[in-house]
Structure 1
Amino acid sequence: MTSKQEYIEHLNLETHPEGGWFKETYHSDEKYYASESNGDRYYYTSIMFLIDNDNPSHFHRLNHDELWFYHDGKNMVVHCIYPNGEYKAIKLGNDINKGELPQFMVPKGTIFASSVDGKDDFALVSCVVSPGFDYADFELMHKSDLLTKYPNLETVIKRLTLE
């Protein structure tokens, strides 16, 4: 198995503001005006994304759908707080007999984070956003705001939200 450090180095991954490491790998050749973003966006963008136990993806929200494709490492969890307040923990991985999914779509407007549990574990995924990702469409969540709105999710919010 390829190590976390080998992936970071060979894929030229950089730290991501939400946590983990990433590199944009593809985007469409053309752009269009996305009314929900009030600006021009690629039709899609794609990144390679790696997280570990100490560097999870912290709770954030996008105004576009995001597809996740699991590649390597240990299984991971995508923690979703849907617009109606419902929480679900979706396992990504290759062991479908244990309920893991090799891909998953996070709907626009969902607050979400991702994590791996083991101390030395990591997970490598690809993420595709359509319309394409732009930081203007990205909202990093605040711990106090989430705790006020979702006090029943205190444990996961405290672990996966920045101050």
Structure 2
Amino acid sequence: MNAAEFRISQLQLQPHPEGGYYREVYRAADRVSSAGLPERYKDERALGTSIYFLLKAGEVSKFHRLQSDEIWYFHAGSPVAIHLISPTGEYQKEIVGLEIAEGQSLQVIIPHGHWFAAEVGFNGSYGLVSCAVFPGFEFNDFELADRNALLKLFPHHQDLIIKFT
């Protein structure tokens, strides 16, 4: 069993629809009604949620977007490169990892509405992060990108979109 498989087993992770492996580890008991949230939310939400998320080398987290802000926190393995495309088409690359002097960040904030994808960097075997979402994650708020639709919106990011859809 390699290091990635060991972590998947140890943390009891399951395959995620976007790619990678995950397990929800926290869902706030307190909830906020839709009246107390921005209009993009149609139902009440938990105040916050958190998951473990692991990507193996050679796998990708496909382009997707959420209705809520998400924060990725690095835990173990190799750094993870996060590719973001803003609603206006601006590209940004963030690396969540331990090497701050090399431009990595211990945590990366992904604003709601941004398309984002991820991959393990630096020839590592896996990257393990936690992802916290506020207000809490619901699969109704998760949108996996359609390649053709994303290419129409952002043709100048064609190579990136093809790689991560």
TM-score, with length taken from structure 2: 0.92
Q: In the alignment, does 2:80 pair up with 1:48?
A: no
Distance in 1 between residues matched to 2:153 and 2:134, nearest whole Å: 28
Structure 1 residues 63, 46: CA separation in 2 closer, same or farther (over 3 Å shift)?
same
SS at match of 2:44: strand
Native 8 Å contact 1:83 1:109 kept in 2: yes
Distance in 2 between residues matched to 1:12 and 1:118, nearest whole Å: 25
Distance in 1 between residues matched to 2:124 and 2:60, nearest whole Å: 12
Native 8 Å contact 1:53 1:118 kept in 2: no
Native 8 Å contact 2:79 2:122 kept in 1: no
Q: Which amino acid aligns with 2:54?
A: L
Equivalent residue number for residue 12 of structure 1: 12
Q: Which amino acid aligns with 1:28?
A: A
Say what the alpha-carbon RMSD is for the aligned residues.
Answer: 1.4
The total of aligned residue pairs comes to 160
Native 8 Å contact 1:46 1:127 kept in 2: yes
Q: Which amino acid aligns with 2:151?
A: L
Distance in 2 between residues matched to 1:33 and 1:109, nearest whole Å: 21
Equivalent residue number for residue 27 of structure 2: 27
Q: Which amino acid aligns with 2:7?
A: Y
SS at match of 2:22: strand
Native 8 Å contact 2:58 2:119 kept in 1: no
Equivalent residue number for residue 136 of structure 1: 140
Distance in 1 between residues matched to 2:16 and 2:26, nearest whole Å: 17
Distance in 2 between residues matched to 1:91 and 1:30, nearest whole Å: 32
Q: Which amino acid aligns with 1:3?
A: A
Distance in 1 between residues matched to 2:102 and 2:125, nearest whole Å: 18
Cα displacement string for residues 121-153 of structure 1 (whole angstroms, at most 9, x for unaligned residues):
210000000000001111100111111211221
Equivalent residue number for residue 92 of structure 1: 96
Q: In the alignment, does 2:147 pair up with 1:146?
A: no
Structure 2: gaps of 5 or more residues: none
Equivalent positions of 1:93-108 (< 5 A) are 93-108=97-112
Q: Which amino acid aligns with 2:62?
A: H
Shift of 1:54: 3.2
Equivalent positions of 1:71-86 (< 5 A) are 71-86=75-90
Structure 1: gaps of 5 or more residues: none
Moved more, 30-39 or 121-130: 30-39
Shift of 1:119: 5.8
Runs of 4+ in 1 over 6 A off after TM superposition: none
Equivalent residue number for residue 117 of structure 2: 113
Shift of 1:120: 5.5
Quote the sequence identity (%).
36
SS at match of 1:39: coil
